[in-house]
């Protein structure tokens, strides 16, 4: 992971930590009923905000599937046309898209967890969806990390590339939210 990617990731993690810690501090000072109602309302509003952010981040993360589908035919046409210069640019662009996909996916997971923790109502299907998102994030991270042996990377790639997991995440999130 390059320096810029680490900076974005650290910024996202710090923001989530600050928002969650403010909730904990506000929750500790609930001595008055009015303050308690305001705190619960703030918590619900913040939880909803995190839910919306998480949904958008997940959507942008899943756009990568479309990108990966159109990439091979474009490469094939560029090779056939002898456009090596455009092929190099396309490959360079693809290398810049992968870290963005990684950061968006991790941010979607973290904001989704924050959303789930801040909401009063919950559904086990939603936590299963978050667990599957965690599996996808972990396997994607193992693919990008330089340490793991080849066998680990190969297994992570097979797990991460399963479209069924991503579909299951989206379906579980939709069903789980409808049930609330």
pTM of the model as a whole: 0.79
Which residue is associated with the tokens 């049930």?
179
A 10 A CB-CB count for 46 gives 19
Token pair 């680990």: residue = 152
pLDDT per residue as tens digits for the range 75-134: 999 999 999 999 999 999 999 999 899 999 999 999 999 999 999 888 999 999 999 999
- Write the pLDDT tens digit of every residue in 121-134: 889 999 999 999 99
Helix 33-80 to helix 3-28 angle (10° resolution) is: 160
């Amino acid at each position: 992971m390059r320096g810029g990617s680490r900076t974005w990731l650290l910024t996202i993690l710090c923001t989530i930590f600050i928002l969650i810690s403010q909730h904990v501090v506000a929750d500790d000072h609930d001595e008055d009923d009015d303050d308690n109602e305001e705190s619960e309302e703030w918590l619900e509003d913040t939880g909803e905000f995190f839910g919306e952010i998480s949904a958008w981040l997940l959507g942008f993360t899943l756009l990568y599937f479309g990108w990966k589908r159109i990439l091979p035919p474009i490469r094939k046409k560029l090779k056939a046309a002898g456009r090596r210069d455009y092929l190099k640019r396309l490959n360079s662009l693809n290398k810049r898209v992968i870290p963005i996909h990684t950061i968006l996916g991790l941010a979607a997971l973290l904001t989704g967890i924050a959303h789930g923790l801040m909401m009063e109502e919950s559904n086990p299907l939603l936590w299963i969806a978050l667990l599957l998102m965690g599996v996808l994030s972990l396997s994607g991270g193992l693919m990008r990390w330089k340490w793991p042996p080849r066998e680990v990377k190969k297994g992570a790639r097979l797990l991460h590339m399963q479209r069924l997991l991503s579909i299951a995440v989206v379906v579980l999130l939709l069903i789980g939210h409808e049930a609330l």
